[in-house]
Amino acid sequence: MMTPEEAVLYHLTANYLSPLLPRTVQDTLAPRFQKAAAILGTSPKLIDWTNKVLWSMHWDGVLTSSSDFEAHAALLSTALYENRKVWIEYEGKDKRFQFNLFGLVRRDRALLVIGSYWQHAQPFVLTVRKIRAVQLTDELAASPPPDFDLQAFTDTQLNFPLSSGTFDEVRLEFAASAYSYVQSNPLVADEVTLTPPDKYVYPGYFALSASGVPDTLRLRQWLSGFGDAVRVLAPKSLRREVGQAQLDGRTNLVNAAEFERLLQREIARCRREPSVRFCLLLLDLDHFKAINDTHGHLTGDQVLEEVARQIRAYDAARYGGEEFAILLEGIGVAEAIKIAERIRTQIAAWPWTSAQGDSIAVTVSIGLTEFPDAVARQADLTPSGAADPDALERLAKAIMDAADQALYRAKQNGRNQVVGFSPKGDGQEPEA
């Protein structure tokens, strides 16, 4: 007699594991699946439980399968069980081919079959959803290579290593709502450190720092699954790949909204650690409208993209049409001046040409300010708590206004220069 607890196991098997079962096994278990459904139907508590438990897949709503998916999966599983070769018709291939099955892998919603073509031993991956037709043969399947291991093959081939192998450092910032999940599902890495929401400098978030993180497509898929609930702080290359919603489409730098969030996070850190400071640079391209009017918008777009490339090494954003912002964490005025001048001179010296090949002049004006000095005299903007969201927003606006005032002075003084913010309201060109 089947117990209600056993019925739950059959229910889960029928719902989630059927594609991995050979057809003969499915046929044998079919009466038990039906009996399990009947037993669950008489138990309101179990019915309620099954409605509250969902095996959610990363690819739900992304990948679709043919109407014959279940039948194809059952035949492939049968072929694997009986060690028989199959004929397969596959999307993108003109002719059907024989295939030897070495394994079936359920990866999120996708069911993948691992095996080799004809009489060869080299393993390949096929996606079951792309199979148009499958037919069992009476011929025994060819054997995999002697050293073939399905788990090792899956780890190396399905995770798609993209570079030399690992990221030395990965720093992530998650919404606090994701804390229990990330804590219970540790990131694969040599070392992982979590800073919980109640100890993190930015309200409503927590931090993850890791070293020796495998550089894989799987990591990018995992991060993308969090949507707006995750920010990649480092490395910048991963941030540009994953955080598309936070990036400017033209330059691939972070957009204004994301930069303001990063700015507030840094302010919160400085409020908690009074010895820490940062500098903010606002950059504006000089006479950019004239470049567009004279040489065309294609040239203007090329200028924006090249300027973005030259400042990409910093925490930079495209803040407006031709305006950029740079956050220099842990850097005081003296070093910030050197960085700003280096950026300004590099842009001015770059061999700019129009889309038609004509030489053009491109320069940039820069306004510079430091936190907390730029707002030190504004007592109403100095919160007693580091994590006060309203105060962080006011402080971010104040520091942006200070940098904007300095930028305005740089424009007034003749452009193509760096000007620092003065609390007296008379921005002064800083001395390097």
pLDDT tens readout for residues 92-145: 788 899 999 999 887 665 788 899 999 888 888 888 888 889 999 999 999 998
What is the reported pLDDT for 390?
82
Q: What is the pLDDT of residue 8?
A: 83
Strands 110-117 and 170-175: unpaired
pLDDT, greater one: 8 or 198: 198
pLDDT for residue 337 is more than 90: yes
Q: What is the pLDDT of residue 432?
A: 42
Q: Which of 202 and 290 is assigned the larger pLDDT? A: 290
Most confident of 50-54, 97-101, 212-216, 230-234: 97-101
Cα 432 from Cα 35, distance rounded (Å): 82
CB-CB contact of 208 with 174 (8 Å): yes
pLDDT top residue among 101 and 217 = 101
Q: Output Rg (C-alpha) for the chain, integer angstroms.
A: 30
Domains in the chain with CATH codes: 4-52 (no CATH), 69-157 (2.30.30.100), 162-245 (3.30.70), 256-420 (3.30.70.270)
Q: What sign does the dihedral 55-59-62-63 (CA atoms) show?
A: negative
pLDDT tier at 431, thresholds 50, 70, 90: very low
In the structure, what pLDDT confidence band is assigned to residue 25 with cuts at 50, 70 and 90? confident
CA distance 27 to 4: 22
- Mark residue 165 as left, alpha or beta (left: phi above 0; alpha: psi -120 to 50; beta: remaining): left
Lowest mean pLDDT among 11-25, 67-81, 342-356: 11-25
Q: In which band, very low, low, confident or very high, does the pLDDT at 389 lie, cut at 50, 70 and 90?
A: confident
Mean pLDDT of 362-369: 97
pTM over 0.95: no
Beta strands at 84-90 and 131-140: parallel, antiparallel or unpaired: antiparallel
At 387 the pLDDT is 58
pLDDT above 60: residue 385: no
